[in-house]
Structure 1
Amino acid sequence: MTARIANVTIHAENPTELARFWAAVMGYPEPTGWPEEEIAELRAAGLSDDDITARAEAWDGDRAHQRFYFTRYSRERRQRNRMHIDVTPFDDRRATRDELALERDRLVALGASVEKELLGFWGPYEEYAIMMRDPEGNEFCLQ
């Protein structure tokens, strides 16, 4: 048996809005909320509408694709994220710098911000990335 990542879970002040952002980044359908039958089960279990909207997801339903899960987190963040997500516009090749610039502009139009450009080398290999933040300040890199 091997393990797989079930979710990438992100604490959010506004889970629904952050789910919309990440769905657009990943090319997933816009989230429409939980299915009505699931909402009925949650209400029957005593959850309020606020409890239900405290969680959201961005996913296209394909088990081969990553599911992003958002949960309301109202406590103060004490330190920076110890890990972050790296995204790329292609799944079959490395993007050129021009292609990364186009994708950067698309993500900024969706609500991301640019933190800085990173350039380094790992032996003979160039490592170039654009460090960005989602609308709630979570770091991710575009490469």
Structure 2
Amino acid sequence: MTARIANISIHAEDPAALANFWAAVMGYPTWVSWPEDELAELRTAGMSDEEIAERAEAWDGNPNHQRFYFTRYNRERRQRNRMHIDVTPFEDRRASRLELETERDRLVALGASLEKELVGSWGPYEEYAIMMRDPEGNEFCLQ
């Protein structure tokens, strides 16, 4: 048996809004709500609409694609992210700097902010990434 990542879980002040940001980043459908059958089960279990709205997801339903899961978190962030997500605009190849800059501009238009560009090398390999933050300040890199 081997492990796999089930979800990328992110604490959020506004789970639905952050789900929609990441859905747009990943090309997933816009988050609207949980499926009607799940909503019925949650309500039958005694959950209010407010409690149900404390969670959201960004996913296209494809088990081969990563699911992002958001849960309301109202506590103060005390430190920098110890782990972050790296995203790339292509599945099958490395993006050029121009392609990364174009994707950076798209993500900024969606609500991301630019933190800094990371330029360096690892042995003979050029390393170039763009450190960004989602609308709630979570770090991620575009590479």
Question: TM-score, length-normalised on structure 1?
Answer: 0.98
- The within-5 A match list for 1:39-118 is 39-118=39-118
- The within-5 A match list for 1:18-57 is 18-57=18-57
Q: What is the root-mean-square deviation in Å for CA atoms of aligned residues?
A: 0.6
SS of corresponding position for 1:61? coil
Deviation sequence 1:63-88 (CA, Å, 0-9, x none): 10000000000011111111000000
SS of corresponding position for 1:43? helix
5+ residue gaps, structure 1: none
1:36 offset after TM fit, Å?
1.3
In the alignment, what sits opposite 1:15?
15
Q: How many residues align?
A: 143
User: Displaced runs of 4+ in structure 1, greater than 4 A?
Assistant: none
5+ residue gaps, structure 2: none
Task: Give the whole-Å Cα distance in 2 for the aligned partners of 1:80 and 1:49.
Answer: 32
Task: Give the whole-Å Cα distance in 1 for the aligned partners of 2:94 and 2:42.
Answer: 43
* Identity %, equivalent residues: 79
Task: Give the whole-Å Cα distance in 2 for the aligned partners of 1:33 and 1:102.
Answer: 31
SS of corresponding position for 1:140? strand
SS of corresponding position for 2:47? coil
Deviation sequence 1:77-131 (CA, Å, 0-9, x none): 1111110000000011110000001000000000000000001111111110000
Task: Give the whole-Å Cα distance in 1 for the aligned partners of 2:28 and 2:67.
Answer: 10
